Amino acid sequence: MVETLASIESFELDHDAVKAPYVRLIVRESGKHGDVISNFDIRLSQPNVSNLDPSSIHTIEHCLAGLVRNRIQGLIDISPFGCLTGFHAVFWGEPSVNQVAVVITEAFEALLEFDEEDVPGRSQKQCGTYKMHSLFGAKEWAKKILEQGISTDYLS
C-alpha cells in the first residue's frame, strides 16, 4: 500500500489562475510555545509560461538572503522553488504581504547596483555550486520584475 501523503497547499493552488509577479501569504503556523512562522510565495515569473534560469535564480537567492535580512527582521529562510518561478520566504512573526512586497522590491532595486564582488557566497568554500551564477541574468530578471511591479493580489 502506498503511503497517504500530507496535503500541500501550493499543490492545491491553481497555477494557471495566478498572475506573477506577486507576493502571497501561504500559511501562518503557531508552534507549541506560541511562536508564529509565516510562509510567503514570492512568485517572480508566470507559472507554466516562463521560469528563471538556474544561474540567475541562484544568484538572486544569494543576494536576497542578505538584502531581505537588511530590510526586515525575522527572515528564517528564502529558498527558490524547484519549478524556478520564485521563492518561499519563511519568517518568524507575522509580517504583512505588503511589507514583504516592499522589501522584495527594495532588494531588487539594490541588486541592480551590485558588481560581481558584491554577490555573497560565490566562492568554492561558500557554495556547493559556486560556478553556477549569473549576475547579468539576475539583474535582467530584477529589471523585468521591477518594471512589472510586484503585486499583493496574486489573482489580478
Domain at 86, CATH number: 3.30.1360.80
pLDDT of residue 1: 82
pLDDT of residue 30: 96
Farthest-apart Cα atoms in the chain, separation: 54
Provide the whole-model pTM.
0.94
In a domain, 134, yes or no: yes
Count CB-CB contacts under 10 A for residue 87.
Answer: 23
CA end-to-end distance (rounded Å), the chain: 42
pLDDT of residue 50: 96
In a domain, 124, yes or no: yes
Report d(CA 44, CA 55) in Å as an integer. 15
Length of the chain: 156
In a domain, 156, yes or no: no
Q: Residue 107 is part of which domain span?
A: 18-148
pLDDT tens track of the chain, all 156 residues?
889 888 888 888 999 999 999 999 999 999 999 999 999 999 999 999 999 999 999 999 999 999 999 999 999 999 999 999 999 999 999 999 999 999 999 999 999 999 999 999 999 999 999 999 999 999 999 999 999 999 999 997
Residue 129: C-alpha distances to residues 54, 109, 140, 141 (Å) = 11, 25, 21, 20
Q: Beta strands of the chain (E only): which ranges?
A: 22-30, 36-43, 75-80, 86-92
pLDDT of residue 65: 97
Q: Beta strands of 31-140 (E only): which ranges?
A: 36-43, 75-80, 86-92
pLDDT of residue 146: 98
In a domain, 133, yes or no: yes
